[in-house]
Amino acid sequence: MAKPFDRRSFMRLSAASLGAGALLRFMPFGTTVNGSTLGTLLGARNGEAPGPFSIVQLSDTHVGFQGPPDPLGTKAFERAVDAVNALDPQPDLILFTGDLTHDSEDPAEHAKRFAAFKTISGRLRVKKRMHVPGEHDAALDGGTLFREHFGETHYSFDHRGVHFVALDNVSAGKPIVGAEQIAWLKKDLARYPKTAPIVVFTHRPLFDLKPEWEWFTSDGDEVMNVLAPYDAVTVLYGHIHRLNHTTLGKSQHYAARSLIFAFPEPPATSTADKKPLPFDKTQPFRNLGIREITGNGARHTLSVNDVELTSRELSGTEGVQQILKTGDFL
């Protein structure tokens, strides 16, 4: 009889947000399933056993956006590129979770914005970069320009024994994944054991975080039902321009900060307007910060250290505001 899989002992995750998302470190452990280590099983399944690695998530760069509440344009994006390039060691890959550009009804202008995004992101030392669209990238043209620059809007790949799934919940012009893509997801995941670690990256949250602010995906429940049988699911998303961590069943959902402006914590009342936080010229990168998450394998907790960027160079704790939180992990 197979030993029950303990998802708490499988993966340790740590993350440092770079004003755009997170630096995530995955450290699988040697769990045994049917007499074999999970690493051996996954290695046989997809050709590569799990191993420690790190990724950076960047989100909501909105290249082409100008004016209130952020007059700095791409400055925060460029700073994030410098911060990522300074990491040692460098992350294995970078995930961009949508709204790479700010939309334009002029296709030629929008194409220029995609080109500008690629120029800035092309400065990254990490060459393995994956993208999903946001509504500003794909809602007006159904993702045509996005596909011209980056390929398909949904796809999957394996990296060091972890299965990554890119989902498109914006190209239909509304917050929906759609039946065709959900059928594709079922077929894609059917190849993997329920113990396989899954990382989903998408733009909008796959649950009703704040529907009246369009912080939801209409068929997100259907997507999560497909993912529900898997023991270790991490969902990375953007769109809400602020940090958020939500646990739904066996899945962990992490929102990334934006690189353009921040939204406030949603109020309890549904009638409140969604207004970006005002720009502060004395703290131009306020609410665009660094988040460090370290998993404790013994206590099964996450220590979350949020560090707010300022215009100063990062050096230890100088010029930053730190907030320490601790919560349950997986």
Q: Is residue 280 part of a domain?
A: no
Looking at residue 218, its pLDDT comes to: 97
CATH of the domain at 241: 3.60.21.10
Domains of the chain: total = 1
Looking at residue 66, its pLDDT comes to: 86
- Of the candidate ranges 21-35, 128-142, 161-175, the one whose mean pLDDT is the lowest: 21-35
3-state SS, residue 80: helix
Is 232 exposed, middle or buried (CB count within 10 Å of its CB: 0-12, 13-18, 19+)?
A: buried
Q: Is residue 151 part of a domain?
A: yes
Q: Is residue 306 part of a domain?
A: no
Cα separation, 60 vs 66, whole angstroms = 14
Residue 42 has pLDDT above 60, yes or no: no
pLDDT, tens digit (0-9, with 9 covering 90-100), for 83-94 = 888 888 888 888
Q: Is residue 103 part of a domain?
A: yes
Is 94:127 a contact under the CB 8 Å cutoff?
Answer: no
Is 106:145 a contact under the CB 8 Å cutoff?
Answer: no
pLDDT mean over 226-237? 93
pLDDT, tens digit (0-9, with 9 covering 90-100), for 273-307 = 889 999 888 778 777 643 333 333 333 333 333 44
Average pLDDT, the chain: 78
Cα separation, 202 vs 95, whole angstroms = 10
Q: Is residue 240 part of a domain?
A: yes
Using a pLDDT cut of 90, give the percent of the chain over it: 47
* HSE-CB of 98 using CA atoms within 13 angstroms: 29
Beta bridge partners of 63: 101
Residue 25 has pLDDT above 90, yes or no: no
The residue ranges of DSSP E strands in the chain, in sequence order, are 11-16, 23-28, 32-33, 36-37, 53-58, 93-97, 129-132, 155-159, 162-166, 197-201, 232-237, 244-248, 251-255, 289-296, 301-308, 321-328
Structural domain boundaries, residue 176: 13-267
Confidence of residue 50 (pLDDT cuts 50, 70, 90): low
Looking at residue 11, its pLDDT comes to: 43
Confidence of residue 202 (pLDDT cuts 50, 70, 90): very high
Residue 308 has pLDDT above 70, yes or no: no
Q: Is residue 312 part of a domain?
A: no
* Higher pLDDT pick, 226 / 6: 226
Q: Is residue 257 part of a domain?
A: yes
| Residue appearing with tokens 């998303």 | 237
Q: Is residue 308 part of a domain?
A: no
